Amino acid sequence: MRETLRPIDPKDVRFFSGQSHPILAEAIAGYLNIPLSSTHFTRFSNDNLYIQLGASVRGRIVFIVQSLTPPVSDHIIELLMMLDIARGAGAHEIHAIIPYFSYARSDKKDAPRISITARLIADLLQTAGATHLMTMTLHSPQVHGFFSIPTDPLTARHLFVRYLADQGVDRQRTVVVAPDVGRAKPAARFAAQLGVQVAAAYKDRISDKNVKFNEPLLERQVQGYTRAIIYDDEIATGTTVVELCSLLVKFGIRDVIAICTHGLFTEQALDNITVIPELSQIITTDTVPIPPEKQTGKLRILSVAPVFGEAILRNYNRQSIGDLFSFS
């Protein structure tokens, strides 16, 4: 299909990056063979942020790449300001490219006097000037419905499938495990593409660092398998992976692979996961930057730049991107 797509005319577009993930922004721009325009960031003495886009956007299609990674609030303000700048400077279209939308976890009111922050951020992005949004693997799919502007939730699933297929998969002995029922559907899609069976663990989150599983239910589902692939949208503290690995090994699994789209790996998460002897690989993407000093021998990072690049190119050519969506 790519042969039929006309390349993006650099005169038509401007491509910018916030400070959260300039390496990924540069990789996406490189895939599209367009330059990454400069942006000037500074702070006044009172800590107010000052931003200036380094190229004219008048009448052009503008893309702004910003992952909502720590410090999340700073990166949200940066993105809102950059959107507002583009709108005020006469941009024709303004596309917010948010590889990791962290507030997708705040999708419901499950306690008194709290904010459904995902909806609030969606409203703010539109108010600031975004006319279109691309993101990847929302923690809660219903967050898609919070946006009143066209929103494309992309997936990295095919990257994981291709990577594992190249290594070879014993389909008779491998099972994909969803760490909770909320991830059962994505895990089932992944397992179907890989050609293996799927199991869903029932998880009760006691706190941010304490989870408990229904052991008998999980044991029945993984009996007879020797390799398990834990498939999740993100890994932050690593508590779920550590506890789930322990149970899987207890139930006869001899090799575990952990897969997540968004590798937050906060605090000592990578260290705690890596020391598990039966865990052979941790596969993630670059939606979240992982410093070299935190990377271990078991970690594999796949780039989502081609996925975003392909989606942007098809959008520019007014062609469907349905097969790149999370639910496809």
Residues with a catalytic annotation lie at 203
3-state SS assignment for residue 240: helix
DSSP-assigned beta bridge partners for residue 174? 227
Report d(CA 64, CA 126) in Å as an integer. Answer: 14
- 70 vs 73, 168, 259, CA distance in Å? 8, 36, 21
C-beta neighbour count of 7 within 10 angstroms: 11
* Whether 201 contacts 218, CB under 8 Å: yes
The one-letter code for the residue type at 154 is L
**Sequence-separated (6 or more) residues with CB below 8 Å from residue 153:** 135, 136, 137, 138, 141, 144, 325, 326, 327
**Residue 71, preceding bond cis, omega within 30 degrees?**
yes
Answer yes or no: are the C-beta atoms of 153 and 141 closer than 8 Å. yes
Do the beta carbons of residue 169 and residue 229 sit within 8 Å?
no
The rounded Cα 300 to chain-centroid distance in angstroms is: 15
> Which pair of tokens denotes residue 50?
């000052």
Residue 107 tokens read as 């999708």
Q: Say if residues 270 and 241 touch (Cβ distance below 8 Å).
A: no
Which DSSP category does 35 fall into?
Answer: -
User: Look-up: residue for tokens 């702004």?
Assistant: 64
**β-bridge pairing 203-207 and 210-213:** antiparallel
DSSP-assigned letter for residue 223: T
